[in-house]
Amino acid sequence: MSAPSRRKTRPAEQPAPVAAAEPSRSELRNEAARAALEPLSPGERPLGLRVAIGVAAALALGNAIAYFAGATIGGKHPGGGVLAFTALAGTLAIGMALTRYWAVILFEALLTLIILLFTLFLVEADSVGGLAVCLGVLVPSGWLFWKLIRVMGRIQVTRREQLPPA
């Protein structure tokens, strides 16, 4: 057996207090942008949100009609994935109509995928028609994406103001 150590233990050192650093210029700009946002009025639907609701509802309705009318993709009837997307688009349309933040951010994620996909199609476009289709999807999708960013901020401000004080 070894002898017990006779080393003295030091008391734990307390970390030195950190002085509060001044916010960076970007954080100051962020605060100014947040302060400039005004909450949504009850029943208010900005243009970008109305367009997004219409697009999501049209996607859901169009897919449902095509599916039940017997439309085929590559000679085969599409599977349940089409119905799942139809349900997702319909749920997003309803959620955005109720000005739910989760619905807007999920729709933004869907727009991001569409923008990425059609950008890849644009690289492979081998005709003027292909170019026109890609740009016909990319330009409105980019515009809608941009418009929904401010809408999301206004929804957050609205929700924060509705919360009871802590």
The per-residue pLDDT for 36 is: 83
Residue 151: pLDDT over 70:
yes
Helix (H, G, I), strand (E, B) or coil at 76: strand
User: Given phi > 0 = left and psi -120 to 50 = alpha, else beta, which region is 107?
Assistant: alpha
What CA–CA distance (Å, rounded) separates 140 from 103? 19
Which of the four pLDDT bands, split at 50, 70 and 90, describes residue 94? Answer: very high
> Are the C-beta atoms of residues 132 and 113 closer than 8 Å to each other?
no
Structure tokens at 67: 């599916």
How many C-beta atoms surround the C-beta of residue 119 within 10 A? 14
The domain spans of the chain are: 45-161
Average pLDDT of the chain?
88
Give the dihedral sign, CA 48/154/149/85: negative
Which of the four pLDDT bands, split at 50, 70 and 90, describes residue 157? Answer: confident
pTM over 0.85: no
